[in-house]
């Protein structure tokens, strides 16, 4: 397989460091270069940039392979990455999603890591694609429910903002644990109402990713929430100096609330928290929420 990575940010480079061990010819797709049907394309760009990145891909044949690594929801359309790719190519590409608890710098440092590779149907190629990433320190579990995997990846970024906010106010592990419990209960109801079957082998990309993102300042979403406790939104974003996927995904909370016919109380509260844009008022609202929920 000829592997091309679209996006040479920190995560793209981390993925490159893994795939390079199995495919010495892996490379980044350069601006102006077109992918061919022989290539396996790995999308390592933010969700809001996927549609633009797909313009670099010219294949339509069914044996083209696209692997997403973004965690988020496209604003306006409320599409998950899978839906964006399907709209562009129909069934003209085999689609996978590689998601899980994996900070880029720790992957580069070869710290033991486990993620999920979501696929759409049973096929011998699934194992071949898994093997592109498999190393002694980077373990990959296959799972078929891509929609549940991608939705979890998007919502865990939203919940990380709340945990970061708690951290910024000086709350400790107990409060983060409480927020995690609320998030897990909320995500469970969301998936159940949408008819998602939550398989045991997709724990890495659902609960594992949630736990990691909600408990570390390395997470951009957690860091944004922490800054938001004492700064206005634009100031907090400037301090993060990177894409905050959870902030973009907030635009879809109301959509999924209606689609799943569920309240999404914590996610809705985070929308409110971000929109206040006055640290003192937001602090009071947060204190009331964690005390009464």
Does 156 participate in catalysis according to the annotation? Answer: yes
49-78 pLDDT tens trace: 999 988 777 655 545 799 999 999 999 999
Question: CB under 8 Å to 232, separation ≥6 — which residues?
Answer: 277, 278, 279
Mean pLDDT of all residues belonging to the chain: 94
User: Mutual orientation of helices 265-276 and 146-168 as an angle, nearest 10°?
Assistant: 50
pLDDT digits (tens, 9 = 90+) for 149-171: 999 999 999 999 999 999 999 99
Which DSSP symbol is given to 35? B
Distance CA 76, CA 226 (A): 27
Question: Is the pLDDT assigned to residue 36 strictly greater than 80?
Answer: no
pTM score, whole prediction = 0.95
Both tokens assigned to 63: 């044996």
Question: In b/e form, how buried is each residue of 156-172, taking b as 16+ CB within 10 angstroms?
Answer: bbbbbbbbbbbbbbebe
Work out the number of other CB atoms within 10 angstroms of the CB of residue 266.
21
Catalytic position from the list 156, 197, 241, 257: 156
Q: Tell me: the pLDDT tens digits for 70-104?
A: 999 999 999 999 999 999 887 778 999 999 999 99
Q: Tokens standing for 237?
A: 């974003």
């Amino acid at each position: 397989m000829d592997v091309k990575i679209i996006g040479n940010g920190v995560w793209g480079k981390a993925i490159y460091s893994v795939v390079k061990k199995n495919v010495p010819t892996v490379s980044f797709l350069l601006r102006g270069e077109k992918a061919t049907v022989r290539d396996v394309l790995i999308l390592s760009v933010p969700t809001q940039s996927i549609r633009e990145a797909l313009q670099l891909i010219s294949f339509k044949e069914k044996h083209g392979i696209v692997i997403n690594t973004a965690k988020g929801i496209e604003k306006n359309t409320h599409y998950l990455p899978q839906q964006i790719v399907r709209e562009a190519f129909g069934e003209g590409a085999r689609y996978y999603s590689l998601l899980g608890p994996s900070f880029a710098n720790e992957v580069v440092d070869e710290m033991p890591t486990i993620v999920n590779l979501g696929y759409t149907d049973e096929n011998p190629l699934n194992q071949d694609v898994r093997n592109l990433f498999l190393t002694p320190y980077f373990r990959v579990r296959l799972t078929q429910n891509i929609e549940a995997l991608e939705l979890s990846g998007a919502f865990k970024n939203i919940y990380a903002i709340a945990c970061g906010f708690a951290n910024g106010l000086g709350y400790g592990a107990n409060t983060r644990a409480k927020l995690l419990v609320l998030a897990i209960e909320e995500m469970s109801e969301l998936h159940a109402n949408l008819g998602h079957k939550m398989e045991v082998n997709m724990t890495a990309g659902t609960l594992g990713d949630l736990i990691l993102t909600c408990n570390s300042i390395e997470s951009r979403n957690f860091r944004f929430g922490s800054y938001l406790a004492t700064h206005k939104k634009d100031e907090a974003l400037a301090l993060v100096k990177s894409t905050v996927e959870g902030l973009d995904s907030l635009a879809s909370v109301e959509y999924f609330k209606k689609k799943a016919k569920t309240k999404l109380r914590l996610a809705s509260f985070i929308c409110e928290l971000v929109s206040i844009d006055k640290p003192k008022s937001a602090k009071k609202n947060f204190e009331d929420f964690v005390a009464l929920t």
